[in-house]
Amino acid sequence: MYCTIALTKPSNLMQKGDQDTLKQDTLVIDTVVVTRGKLSPLEEYELKKENHKEIYFLGDNKNMVTLPTSGGLAVNIQKLYNHLSRRGKGSRHLQKLFDKEYEQDLVNEMWEPLIKEYSHLSGDTLRLFVIHAKPSYAWISKATHYEQVAYVLKREKSFLDSISVLMDKIRL
């Protein structure tokens, strides 16, 4: 989600009164416009990459050693340091987390419309079904639409058959 806020400057912050002293008028914001919109998973991922450039710089350990055409061996000291340093390791870990979040967003983008269209659940049972029956990114990205619909229906039937067992586990 992103949020755009537009603020207009107040007019007459300070007014000169009848005397030589300045009176401060109250601050007034004329208009505040808030617009919201949902970004696609790819747009969110690109925005994270843009906002965290330093992490991608510190985590970069590709092409650390090169073979120049003139002969010899060239080592990029900065990339070698980033590869061995704690900050570099943490940056690569955070990059992996961003990649996993991106994959989960893609799964949610494909999964939620399928649930809304082909599932007959609602309320808490729907919420529990979405949590317990969500497929992996590897499977849902390779599956055809028919396989995805069959998966939803099969998992829903299995879920409804075992709902009492799940409810007992949740109450514990």
Contact 23, 84 (CB under 8 A): no
Q: What's the pLDDT at 24? A: 63
Q: What is the pLDDT of residue 159?
A: 85
- 52: helix, strand or coil: coil
pLDDT at 146: 94
Does the pTM of the predicted model rise above 0.75? no
CA distance 9 to 26: 13
Beta bridge partners of 7: 32
Burial class (CB in 10 A: 0-12, 13-18, 19+), 104: middle
pLDDT along the chain (172 residues), means of 10: 52 52 66 76 90 85 84 84 88 92 92 88 84 89 92 89 75 68
SS3 for 96? helix
Six token digits for residue 156:
């829903």
pLDDT of residue 2: 52
pLDDT number for residue 18? 52
